[in-house]
């Protein structure tokens, strides 16, 4: 495993209304590894050269395949990165938890005592580690301005969303998510948002899946409104979030961890 020291100043914010970040992604090896494949692309964006297989093997998988964004975030935190999750998942978080000085970790633990859903319990375990490791949670309106603001800081956005809505495709049935409009269920997915065009109101999606309804490329521009809807509908598959991973500020303990771990 290789790490990169980020002691140099980070690039200045983008000052134009149409831009894209240099995010390179590999094809996901199977139907359930979109999350680690996106995480690997983010690590590469920040200068790492770890093998995709290592990221996949290290990340936690759910019983029926796939993962949660919070598990990806915890992996980044363990490596010394800073991580922020903008959540829209009301299956896990109550909106009132973000209106005062409530201890969200305590609320998550209390909620776990009353709810037995296995996905919720796994997500709760992940969020407790995320918070313990210094991850930041945000609950704000999901708007194009929010995404534009993050991207202007040259930070790609890893997001858990509804592939069914993003692609406007048939729902998936069975372990391979075979298209089936009658028996199928909504399918979740991970992609990266890596560009913005204010005039056209589009974002650049970096997608590990091939092919998509938008062609054979891993990169396509699509309406920001479609993406916002897909992210919010990610709640159906227990995600619905933006995950922003980036090197910590120079001089911070996390930055020193990255530097010490560099080859």
- Domain boundaries 20-261, corresponding CATH code: 3.90.70.10
Contacts of 218 by beta carbon, 8 Å cutoff, 6+ apart: 25, 27, 206, 207, 208, 210
CA atoms of 179 and 171, how far apart (whole Å): 6
Q: Contact at 8 Å (CB) between 260 and 1?
A: no
* pLDDT at residue number 237: 84
* pLDDT at residue number 43: 97
- Nearest of 43, 109, 53 to residue 73 by alpha carbon: 43
* pLDDT at residue number 15: 63
Phi, psi at 253, each rounded to 5°: -55, -40
* pLDDT at residue number 72: 97
Angle at 193 between CA 187 and CA 196, to 5 degrees: 135
Q: Which of the residues in the chain have pLDDT under 50? A: 1-8, 263
Query: In the numeric block, which tokens belong to residue 259?
Result: 């530097």
CA atoms of 218 and 38, how far apart (whole Å): 11
Phi, psi at 121, each rounded to 5°: -65, -40
CA atoms of 84 and 165, how far apart (whole Å): 25
CA atoms of 206 and 227, how far apart (whole Å): 12
């Amino acid at each position: 495993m290789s790490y990169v020291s980020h002691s140099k100043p980070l690039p200045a914010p983008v000052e134009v209304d149409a831009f894209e970040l240099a995010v390179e992604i590999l094809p996901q090896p199977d139907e359930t590894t979109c999350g680690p494949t996106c995480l690997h692309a983010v690590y590469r964006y920040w200068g790492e050269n770890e093998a995709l297989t290592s990221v996949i093997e290290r990340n936690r998988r759910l019983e029926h395949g796939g993962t949660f964004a919070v598990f990806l975030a915890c992996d980044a935190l363990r490596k010394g990165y800073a991580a922020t999750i903008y959540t829209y998942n009301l299956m896990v978080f109550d909106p009132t938890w973000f209106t005062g000085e409530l201890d969200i970790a305590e609320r998550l633990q209390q909620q776990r005592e009353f709810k037995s859903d296995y996905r919720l319990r796994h997500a709760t375990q992940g969020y407790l580690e995320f918070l313990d490791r210094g991850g930041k949670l945000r609950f704000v309106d999901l708007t194009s301005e929010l995404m534009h603001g993050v991207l202007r800081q040259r930070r790609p956005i890893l997001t858990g969303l509804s592939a069914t809505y993003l692609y406007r495709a048939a729902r998936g049935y069975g372990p391979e998510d075979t298209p089936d409009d009658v028996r199928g269920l909504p399918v979740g997915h991970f992609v990266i948002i890596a560009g913005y065009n204010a005039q056209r109101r589009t974002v650049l999606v970096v997608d590990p899946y091939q092919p998509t309804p938008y062609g054979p490329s891993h990169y396509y521009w699509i309406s920001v409104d479609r993406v916002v809807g897909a992210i919010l509908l990610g709640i159906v598959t227990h995600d619905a979030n933006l995950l922003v991973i980036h090197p910590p500020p120079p001089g911070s303990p996390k930055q020193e961890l990255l530097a010490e771990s560099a080859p």
